[in-house]
Amino acid sequence: MRGVMKRMLTAAGVSVGMLLMAFTPASAAVFNLTADAGEISMPDGAQIYMWSFRDSAGGFRYPGPVLDVLVGDTVTVNLTNALPDMDGPSGPMSADAVSLLFPGHENVEFSSDGGVTWAPTGPAYTTGGSKESLRSLAGEAAPGQTVSYRFVAAKPGTYTYYSGTYPHKHVDMGLVGAIIVRTGLPNQAYFTTGSNYDYEVVQFYSAVDPDQHKRIKAGLPYQNSAYLPQYWFVNGRAFPDTIAPDTVSYLPNQPMGALLALYPKERLLVRMVTFDRDMHPLHSHGNHLMVLARNGRPLSSDGVNGDLAIEEYTQTMHPGDTQDGIFTWDPPMNFGFDVYGGDVTQPVPVIVPPEHNSVNINVGFGQLFSGTAYLGHKVDLGADAPINLNAMGEMYVPFHSHFEIELQNEGVGPGGMLAVIMICVPGKPCPGHP
């Protein structure tokens, strides 16, 4: 099989040296996760009670850690259940059991005795074997218990993991995370042509119903039929917190920023993951996303050529979906004129606002408009213009949900599922760029 793969990839233009790097003997990847409770902060000052997975040696965070492995690795995840009993030991409700599902991975095994014995993971029932009492889609960790799961990461791609116990409740409460399985080839997402990239980002899309979270915190039952989300997140944050750096003091439990930063012509791999029960249409301004793969499967007719990759105006993300896409910004190709700073006097389709007293100047141009379409250049917008924030003449375009209701925080916008792509000036710093 290795020889067959060598011939296929060599024919596709991948060197044998890179191939051997990708097929270095696999190792064991071990992760220790704890299901726990905590709170996250919203831009409007609200605090939302959440459940999530955290690194067992670290603090509470949402969403859960990204599990980063190499194709062929034997992945072991040890899960400890630290979910609280919200109505106390004398209350009618007990703490939830919790489990893990790994969609897209086969032959997942489960151990409840510290890895001494293993068996295929399977469903759990409240009353023996009755499908009406199905409680979990995977082997569970009882309150206070540690269990283990293992599988071989057989195919590269972007995947999810989440609790398979009462998933309608646990996914909404935040027991979710992502897995990246790497090819071992430098900056190549799949064993297909066209999946090369300069750098990558992960974006989680999710939502919560704060009323249901308040009920859980108060020790009341979760009302599945009453689910009505009011906050929509990118990487566990709602706009404008999405554009803050990865680690900021006022968001201690939300460590992942969502600002996308790149230089012109760079290939940015966006690994998109959605967790909640609704569909989200995600749209990038400035250029379409070239979708390479869905749910860890490359868009290819033969597994080698990326010939089925598709450029999409909007990526429709269904519940549990992952999609991998390439975003580039090449303005002569996209816009038909040179914006890199050639002749800044030549006419371009931009109207610089005049100096006048008009409240509409703030709406029409905003704080991120430099006054010109030329990257790296700025124009004096006049005394009545808003304070200009693009200090180096960089450009900004949105990356957001096309459902308008998802662009608000509990009814007030702008907010919600909105991120920003920053186009940096070549040769100048690019905050957020690796």
Q: 232: which 2 tokens?
A: 């929509």
Cα distances (angstroms) measured from residue 317 to each of 98, 272, 274, 427: 26, 8, 7, 35
Residue 267 is assigned to a structural domain of this protein: yes
Structural domain contains residue 282: yes
| pLDDT for res 52 | 97
Asked if the structure places residue 410 within a domain, the reply is no
| pLDDT for the residue numbered 27 | 86
Q: What is the pLDDT of residue 150?
A: 97
195 CB-contact burial (10 Å; exposed 0-12 / middle 13-18 / buried 19+)? buried
Q: What is the pLDDT of residue 183?
A: 97
pLDDT value for 130 = 65
Q: How many CB atoms lie within 10 A of CB 411?
A: 9
377 Cβ contact partners less than 8 Å away, ≥ 6 residues apart: 341, 344, 370, 393
Sequential pLDDT tens for the chain (434 residues): 333 333 333 333 444 334 434 444 568 899 999 999 999 999 999 999 999 999 999 999 999 999 999 999 999 999 999 999 887 777 777 899 999 999 999 999 999 999 999 999 988 887 766 666 788 899 999 999 999 999 999 999 999 999 999 999 999 999 999 999 999 999 999 999 999 999 999 999 999 999 999 999 999 999 999 999 999 999 999 999 999 999 899 999 999 999 999 999 999 999 999 998 899 999 999 889 999 999 999 999 999 999 999 999 999 999 999 999 999 988 766 666 667 666 666 656 566 655 555 555 555 556 777 777 778 877 776 666 666 777 888 888 899 999 999 999 998 989 999 999 999 988 888 988 88
Q: How far is the C-alpha of 12 from the C-alpha of 24, rounded, in Å?
A: 20
Query: What pLDDT sits at residue 8?
Result: 34
- What CATH number corresponds to the domain at position 108? 2.60.40.420
Rounded Cα gap, residues 100 and 83, in angstroms = 14
Which among 77, 83, 75 is positioned nearest to 33, based on CA atoms? 77
Residue at 27 is within a domain: yes
- Residue 399 within any structural domain of the chain: no
Does residue 270 fall inside a structural domain? Answer: yes
- What is the distance of C-alpha 362 from the center of its chain? 31
Full residue range of the structural domain in which residue 198 is found: 2-327
Number of domains within the chain: 1
400 domain residue, yes or no: no
Q: Is residue 383 part of a domain?
A: no
Q: What CA–CA distance (Å, rounded) separates 199 from 188?
A: 10
Classify residue 429 by its DSSP letter. -
